[in-house]
Amino acid sequence: MAIITTRDTRVAEIMALRQRQGANQPGQRTYRTAISAKADMPVGPMVTAITPTGDRPLPFALCQKWMANQTRKPDQWIVVDDGKIPMNPSGEFQYVRREPRPDDPPHTLCANIAVALSLVKGDKILIIEDDEYYAPEYVAEMSSRMESYEVVGIGDSKYYYLPTGRWNTFGNRGHASLAQTGFRVSLLPKLSEFLATGNVIDWLDMKIWSWVDDSKKTTKPISFMLFVDSAKSLYVGIKGLPGRNGMGEGHNPVVVQRYHPDTADRAKLKQWIPKDYQVYLDILAGMK
């Protein structure tokens, strides 16, 4: 794993987050820690965020930072960890340890989400992937739209491969990536039933949005909103961080070579992440 030097307070903060979630000893028992209630929790429908993770200490530490910066924090944040090295959880989230199984598929995102669904308390559910950048307004913007729609997502997906500065956008206007999808609790029974069928390795985002599409032909269509964040960037799919790889094409350096090259001073990264791009530049400096 890359070594990050504490050249300034930004990197020092990241290193402190990593240390707080250091590994437990092998053989540790499964356990959960519940998020504490806060007096300033917003009134109205609750928001539950779900983060599947495992063996990705730096991305998850960054995820904690971005979640702490949210202007509207989730009322419940469920983190399901199935890494070979369990986390030592510390923070405002509900930790669930899912021990790896011999029959696990190569990618266990769906298996981890299935565990989290049984613990959901919120009316609105957001999938927060650990290697995404989420702008401070992300949860608030998604939550606001879910007041009126059962499924909400952001189209025109944005990927940025940090090690080489390659970036791409996709013209997806019929669905959103899972990391930018939210849904109301009304979709929970259908989703839980699907995930209970076994070791699901399907692209879960495509499944959810196919249900939306199929429902248009019925008398009870699923209400949805798909929007783009071109006016104000709400997220960036950051790829190439240290840790266990994800399943998307953005994790494949060979595929990424076909993406657009950023400028030497990372102008695209700065455009997409105007408030926090320096954090990634500091990480990049430590990866070289």
The string of DSSP codes covering 162-187 is TTTTEEEE----S---GGGEEEEGGG
Helices (H) and strands (E) in the chain, counts: 9, 13
Q: What is the model's pLDDT at position 107?
A: 83
Averaged over 38-45, what is the pLDDT? 49
Which range, of 79-88, 101-110, 120-129, 254-263, averages the lowest pLDDT? 101-110
Query: pLDDT tens for residues 176-203?
Result: 999 999 999 999 999 999 998 765 656 8
Higher pLDDT, 26 or 72: 72
Torsion of CA 80, 85, 90, 92, to 10 degrees: -10
Residue 16 φ/ψ, nearest 5 degrees: -65, -40
Q: What is the model's pLDDT at position 250?
A: 58
* Placement of tokens 């008398």 in the chain: 219
User: How many angstroms separate the CA atoms of 237 and 123, rounded?
Assistant: 25
Averaged over 147-159, what is the pLDDT? 96
C-alpha pair distances (Å), 244 with each of 51, 108, 200, 248, 280: 15, 11, 19, 12, 18
The string of DSSP codes covering 116-127 is HHTT---SEEEE
Mean pLDDT of the chain: 84
Averaged over 123-144, what is the pLDDT? 97
Averaged over 74-89, what is the pLDDT? 95
- For the chain, list the domains and their CATH numbers: 9-35+44-287 (3.90.550.10)
Burial tier of 130 (Cβ tally within 10 Å: 0-12, 13-18, 19+): buried
